[in-house]
Amino acid sequence: MTEAMTSDVREVDGYLRGPERAPRNRARSGEEHGRPARPNNIHDDATAQNLGFRGGTIAGSVHLDQFPPVLIAAFGKRWFTEGSISLLFRNATVDAEPVTAMVRPPDGAPQVEARMERHDGMLVAEGTASCGALTEPTYLHGIDLRPSPPEELRMLTGVEAGAPISVRSFSVDSAEQRSRIEAGAITEPLDWYVGPSPFGPPIVNPSAIVQLIRNGPGDFGRHIGDAVGLFSAIELRFWSGPLRCDTDYEVGGEIVAVGASPKTEYVWYDSRATDRNGDVAVSMRMQLRWMKASSPLYAEGR
């Protein structure tokens, strides 16, 4: 089964490269998350173009789904129990643009370079992938998260490092996951997502994990309003993984840093899913950005 999942992975120019895929912008209508799309979302063509993008963007979480076949080829099924993928997104892609996931062959190293490129070579994301104990930080944990002075913040005023994110419980129904996958909701589906896996029940795919353990709607204060947000960095790391369907978990976490750039305000936060024994199954580090140009707090004259 593992061989079938990795049969399209090839070593080319020093990288293990997965097959080229063309992710669809299902979040445009809310189809990806199973709920109506919110107004002013970055996946809507008109909204994104008004902010200087070429069109509605593919969510970074969707790009994560292309990496497992490559990571299984690099590290084996252990990647789902003690591996990580840590990516900073450099350039946005739009609906059906072909992209390729790739990593350096590990050759015994626990951590290697990971990247995604568009069909013309444009860098979409860069970072690291790992498996097992690390002697150096992952890509995102190696970034200096120095906060901005509070007076530079408008949308995130009053939001501080150390504040908790929403605590909640969840379980992924295997039949519902199968239905989503059969409807084409995942760019790179694995058999382990829909049937028995080496870990028992079906396991949860990376893009779904991001949505399950991300922040709640009120975690970053009341001043964001309908400002347009986007994922700009995501790291998933398994500690006693994988995340299994039909299994109870609890999510919690905390804000790590808050800051501003010329065009955005952003927050870094950590979250984690723990099982009923209190063991961490998977953790996530995420950077969310909100476009200043989309907020009335940055309207001319304010």
108-144 confidence digits (pLDDT tens): 999 999 999 999 999 999 999 999 999 999 999 999 9
Label residue 3 by pLDDT band (50, 70, 90): confident
Percent of the chain having pLDDT more than 90?
A: 91
In this predicted structure, what is the pLDDT of residue 27?
A: 79
Spatial neighbors of 73 by CB under 8 A, at least 6 apart, are 6, 9, 16
Strand partners of residue 2: none
* Predicted confidence band of residue 30 (pLDDT cuts 50, 70, 90): low
| Structure-block tokens of residue 220 | 């970053």
pLDDT tens-digit map of 168-200: 999 999 999 999 999 999 999 999 999 999 999
The tens digit of pLDDT for each residue in 143-166 reads 999 889 999 999 999 999 999 999
Task: Tell me what the pLDDT averaged over the chain comes to.
Answer: 94
At 301 the pLDDT is 57
Q: Which of 301, 222, 225, 288 is nearest to 261 (CA)?
A: 288
Q: Supply the pTM of this predicted model.
A: 0.95
- Among residues 149, 147, 110, 152, the alpha carbon closest in space to that of 128 is found at 110
Q: Is 222 exposed, middle or buried (0-12, 13-18, 19+ CB in 10 A)?
A: exposed
Burial track 72-85 (b if 16+ CB lie within 10 A, e otherwise): bbbbebebbbbbbb
Collapsed DSSP state (helix, strand, coil) of residue 74: helix
Closest CA to 22 of 76, 50, 71, 63: 63
Half-sphere exposure of 185 (CA within 13 A, CB side): 23
pLDDT of residue 28: 75
Q: Quick one: pLDDT band at residue 4, thresholds 50, 70, 90?
A: confident
- The predicted-structure confidence for 68-85, as pLDDT tens digits, reads as follows 999 999 999 999 999 999
Q: Grade residue 2 by pLDDT with cuts at 50, 70 and 90.
A: confident
Mean pLDDT of 87-115: 98
Query: Coil, strand, or helix at residue 75?
Result: helix
Q: Which residue has the tokens 């200096």?
A: 144
Q: What domains sit in the chain, N to C, each tagged with a CATH number? A: 2-141+148-298 (3.10.129.10)
